[in-house]
Structure 1
Amino acid sequence: MPLEESVFLETSRLRLRRFTEADADELVRLDSDPRVMRYLTGKPTPRTEIEQTVLPAILRDYARGPAGRWAAIERASGEFIGWISLQPPEDGSTTELELGYRLTAKVWGRGYATEGARAVLHKGFAELGAERVWAQTMAVNGGSRRVLEKAGLRYVRTFHVRFADPLPGTEQGEVEYELTRAEWRRTGLAAGTP
């Protein structure tokens, strides 16, 4: 697929493009870093799971509609630095989308997650017809919570989930954030550019 067909969007520093089967090694590297997985599973994702479950699911989402998960490429270096997503529900609709991101630890603190999140939010509301975008993370994940707030989402609730093998901090719960189309327009975020 030509590059221009695989690119979902670009910002000043990021290119978000479709994943391909050739990206398995990049996903394995990303999910092998204990810092990246700390608030997710606490352990690396096995290569077989990435190759047989994770990557095929990402690729299937592209056939269901315009929303999904995109490889985040640093434009200056051309380097894979993680992914950013607007995940659709099972039916592929875009009315309610879940914002997600997972970036390599070496780029943390540079504003890439916020930049990418704002860009996909803009695309979700302006072009994909989203009415609500939501996200969740562990309550103790201060870095992710700051990204959500900087991107314009607001805190909705704290809730508790029982896990068979809970991570440290699980006892403080999970938090949900959201941004509605009306809030996006009212706050001036709609006027922003990706």
Structure 2
Amino acid sequence: MEIFASTPRLILRELIPADAAGMFELDSDKAVHLYLGNKPVSTIEESREAIQFIRQQYLENGIGRWAGVEKGNLAIVAWLSA
């Protein structure tokens, strides 16, 4: 797992398959999607597929979305476009 940057509170790293539950929590929230096209996911499988797609972008393009992870509890609190 590659870490791209870190701050005193956060780690910015690549998304991994184990992040599916955290991604689902974020991406199923209508408030999170208010400015992202208003298309929240409805199943964890959609989050798994999104992570696979993002990981393929890492391989093909050398870039993709990053996970924003709290250092204290390693919870995903955001994803960011790189």
Q: TM-score with structure 1 length normalisation?
A: 0.38
Letter of the 2:46 counterpart: E
1:17 corresponds to 2:13: yes
Question: Which has the larger Rg?
Answer: 1
Post-superposition Cα deviations, 1:91-140, rounded to whole Å, max 9, x if no partner, equal xxxxxxxxxxxxxxxxxxxxxxxxxxxxxxxxxxxxxxxxxxxxxxxxxx
1:49 corresponds to 2:66: no
Quote the sequence identity (%).
Answer: 35
1:82 corresponds to 2:78: yes
Q: CA RMSD in A?
A: 1.9
1:59 equivalent among 39, 48, 55: 55
CA–CA distance in structure 2, aligned partners of residues 33 and 61 of structure 1: 24
1:43 offset after TM fit, Å? 4.2
Secondary structure at the aligned position of 1:34 is classed as: coil
Bigger relative contact order, structure 1 or 2, given CA contacts below 8 A and separation 6+?
A: 2
Letter of the 1:71 counterpart: A
1:73 offset after TM fit, Å? 0.6
Q: Which runs of 5+ in 2 are unaligned?
A: none
CA–CA distance in structure 2, aligned partners of residues 9 and 81 of structure 1: 15
CA–CA distance in structure 1, aligned partners of residues 4 and 23 of structure 2: 18
Which residue pairs with 2:34 in the alignment? Answer: 38
Letter of the 2:10 counterpart: L
Q: TM-score with structure 2 length normalisation?
A: 0.79
Q: Which runs of 5+ in 1 are unaligned?
A: 87-194
1:39 offset after TM fit, Å? 2.0
CA–CA distance in structure 2, aligned partners of residues 50 and 31 of structure 1: 8
**Runs of 4+ residues deviating >3 angstroms:** none
Number of residue pairs matched?
A: 81
